[in-house]
Amino acid sequence: MNKTGSSCIRQAPSTRSFPVHFCSVVKRARRSGLVRPEQPLLCRRKRFHKGLRLVLRVEVLPKEVIQRIASGEVIDTPVAAVRELVENSLDAEATRIEIEVNFDVCDITVRDNGHGMRPHDLENCILQNATSKLRSLEELETGQVRTLGFRGQGLWAISQLCESLQIRTASEGSPCGYMIDYNARNGTTDPVQPVAMSSGTIVQVRGLFQGQQFAMRLAAMPRKTQLRQQLLSFVQATALCHPSVSWRVREGGRNVLVLFGDHHFLDEESEEESAKRALIRMFSQITDILPEECGAFLDRHACCVLAYPDRGHHRVRADAVTVAVNGRAVQNAELQSAVLSHMRRSVPSGRFPIVFVHLRCPGEDVDWNIRPMKTEMRLKNLDQWLQRIRESIDRCFSIPLSELSSADSLAGIYARNAMEAENSAFDGLPHISMHPSLLKLEVVAQIANTYILATNPELGDLWIVEQHTAHERVLYEKFSAQSNRLTSDTVELPVPIIVRAPFAETDVDGIRDSLGIHMTVFGPMEWKVERIPRMFLENGILDLESRNVKRVAEQSFQYLLQTLKSASDLEDQIAFLACKAAVKNGTPLSLERMQWIVNAWLETRAPRTCPHGRPTFRQLNAKELEIFFQRRYTPRGSVDDPRGSVPSRHAPC
């Protein structure tokens, strides 16, 4: 008995103690067979922990639920449907692809001039896991798949999520084409019917995600402007992977994007030169950058094209950095980080480059079985491919023997605008010739004790090189290659230098470990510098021959240490040391000294900019000078214009 006189023995909870809604849940669970009658259920409330316990049975999902989940993983937006159809067109070796979309009702039409399909393949192409690109498990495990698609889920997933799907196709040499209609509402497929059409394939998707069952997904769909931007980004990235393919994107009956591919070969150029020309041309159309302001490199394993940062081509965000593997743009943080870190010292601080890198990896080195959309992958021997990326970028920065003149680029832009206005059938632009051999310059004079004037004896081009930025690039790459000497090769100062600076012990230790500058405490807010790297003396970073050593210690070396301390990493410190040691603007130089700077500058990895992203040179070629002085012009149809043979005209005087 307690103080109130009631019994202290607790009564077992009855069903009346349960909430009404919980009792109804228990009854429905027992009637539906989800729980066994003899098995107790456990109420969520703590005071009923000795009550009944809920046990759910494991059951196999219905077939329609499995198909809906699988199709939703492959196709989540209309852009994903376009991606699957475009990859099928590229696997069919199409050279022209047209995409027409209507995001209001989610209608999609993709046309191509690929190989097409046979009637029997047309009946099987919309079945789940039906594909012509994979035959056995051995091909998948050994990396023998060479196509973009191989799972056989693209067309099937689209057919499960749309109202109707129509495919018309004709193979090369076939007397007619064939058409098949699939009605997703009742799940029926009409018989294959003959139709008149040229070789290729046309896929029409009607009412994607249109229906009450897709209301939740349609409500969470991105806005139309976002879908349009995603579509254009996908097409542009895919076009860079396949520069020989022409593209047209239409929305609402008007052209949104038109890109002209180039799959023609010139008689005097090799296959590699033709592929490089097509890549530069496609990159120029997408970025609206002149072809002569782009650099490209291409070999069997990797290709790279970028816009020269010294011409002002860089952006605030890293949205213009595209990495692709085996014909598909991918999202890989390690590959993108390698590109950004390697080009960090070629663009101004806080800016990002405009670059496209495409790796051609063996099938056994790539694992695509990560996500159904195949936008993520894993690479075997990752370090080797990262090194190939760095080498490709370095080759793009090398200065060719002759760069294109502005007249050639203006002719190309004029031809492209004319073709867009005429809505022509994807004809090519004027051909671009690139010469990969290195440049040879001869120094002739110095202007304002700042700029080196040099010429190319073979072509007659005029080059203006800023002596400080060019020498800074030379020293930066030299110091970077010999960074281990900073700490290993030090010399003792004959007279210690006293530096007054608010350094902490951790700052002093960091400077010693990274740069090899040894300092000890000398007094309050004072430090005694006893040893410095030998490179400081060899490259003029510190001048001990000065008469006023005390002034050097208090001004030059103190400023040097404070700047090195504020640097974020070793690269920033080396860039500052190179800027400190480089010849200053306003310093008169001899012809021999200027020639040495120019020759060493041309041999650097990235001669177009200094380590801080500033340009190093300006070129004026003979054609630009002739056009400026009105000595010669090239009308349409002239010898320089590949569309005609009218001779060039010269000024009368």
271-312 pLDDT tens trace = 778 888 889 999 999 999 988 888 888 888 899 999 999 888
The pLDDT value recorded for residue 56 is: 67
DSSP readout, 374-415? ----EESSHHHHHHHHHHHHHHHHSPBS-PPPHHHHHHHHHH
- Pairing state of beta strands 617-620 and 632-633? unpaired
Q: How far is CA 653 from CA 440, 626, 640, 648, 650, in A?
A: 33, 13, 22, 15, 8
Phi and psi at residue 431, to the nearest 5°: -75, 150
pLDDT at 648 over 60: no
The pLDDT value recorded for residue 339 is: 93
The pLDDT value recorded for residue 403 is: 42
pLDDT at 393 over 60: yes
Mean pLDDT (the chain) is 76
What is the DSSP code (8-state) at residue 638? B
pLDDT at 546 over 60: no
pLDDT at 644 over 50: no
Other C-beta atoms lying within 10 Å of the C-beta of residue 257: 18
Residues 6+ positions from 341 with CB-CB distance below 8 Å: none
The mean-pLDDT minimum among 9-23, 51-65, 294-308 falls in: 9-23
The mean-pLDDT minimum among 140-154, 170-184, 359-373 falls in: 140-154
- pLDDT class for 406, splitting at 50, 70, 90? very low
What would the mean pLDDT of 128-154 be, rounded to a whole number? Answer: 66
Residues 6+ positions from 29 with CB-CB distance below 8 Å: 35, 41, 54
The pLDDT value recorded for residue 144 is: 63
The whole-angstrom separation of Cα 467 and Cα 614 is 12
Q: 293 in helix, strand or coil?
A: helix
The whole-angstrom separation of Cα 348 and Cα 368 is 36
The mean-pLDDT minimum among 8-12, 560-564, 565-569 falls in: 8-12
The pLDDT value recorded for residue 634 is: 52
The pLDDT value recorded for residue 109 is: 93
121: nearest Cα among 112, 113, 132: 132
Q: What is the pLDDT of residues 606-638, one digit of tens each?
A: 888 999 889 999 888 777 777 778 776 555 444
Calculate the CA dihedral of residues 44, 48, 50, 52 and round it to 10 degrees: -60
pLDDT above 70 covers a percentage of the chain that reads: 71
- pLDDT class for 98, splitting at 50, 70, 90? very high
- pLDDT class for 640, splitting at 50, 70, 90? very low
Determine whether 173 is exposed, middle or buried from the number of CB atoms within 10 Å of its CB (0-12, 13-18, 19+). exposed
- The tally of CA atoms less than 13 A away on the side-chain side of residue 258 is 15
The pLDDT value recorded for residue 133 is: 67
Q: What is the pLDDT of residues 206-245, one digit of tens each?
A: 888 887 777 777 777 888 899 999 999 999 999 999 999 9
Determine whether 259 is exposed, middle or buried from the number of CB atoms within 10 Å of its CB (0-12, 13-18, 19+). buried
The pLDDT value recorded for residue 374 is: 72
- The tally of CA atoms less than 13 A away on the side-chain side of residue 227 is 23
What would the mean pLDDT of 634-644 be, rounded to a whole number? Answer: 46
The pLDDT value recorded for residue 474 is: 92
Q: For the chain, first and last CA: distance in Å?
A: 127
Q: What is the pLDDT of residues 430-482, one digit of tens each?
A: 333 333 345 788 999 999 999 999 998 777 788 999 999 999 999 998 888 88
393: nearest Cα among 347, 357, 447: 357
pLDDT at 524 over 90: no
The pLDDT value recorded for residue 274 is: 84
Q: Are 573 and 564 in contact (CB under 8 A)?
A: yes
Three-state secondary structure string covering 257-289: EEECCCCCCCCCCCHHHHHHHHHHHHHHHHHCC
Structure tokens at 378: 């894993």
What would the mean pLDDT of 180-190 be, rounded to a whole number? Answer: 78
Three-state secondary structure string covering 559-628: HHHHHHHHCCCHHHHHHHHHHHHCCCCCCCCCHHHHHHHHHHHHCCCCCCECCCCCECEEEECHHHHHHH
- pLDDT class for 11, splitting at 50, 70, 90? very low
Choose between 571 and 283: higher pLDDT.
283
The whole-angstrom separation of Cα 611 and Cα 481 is 14
**Residue 649: strand pairing partners:** 633
**Among the ranges 66-70, 176-180, 551-555, 620-624, which has the highest mean pLDDT value?**
176-180
Q: 418 in helix, strand or coil?
A: helix
The whole-angstrom separation of Cα 152 and Cα 311 is 46
Residue 91's H or E segment, with its range, is helix 78-91
Residues 6+ positions from 298 with CB-CB distance below 8 Å: 272, 275, 276, 279, 304
pLDDT at 531 over 70: yes
The whole-angstrom separation of Cα 5 and Cα 2 is 5
Q: Are 307 and 354 in contact (CB under 8 A)?
A: yes
Domains in the chain: ranges and CATH: 15-48 (no CATH), 65-221 (3.30.565.10), 255-420 (3.30.230.10), 440-620 (3.30.1540.20)
The mean-pLDDT minimum among 142-156, 198-212, 281-295, 596-610 falls in: 142-156
pLDDT at 553 over 60: no
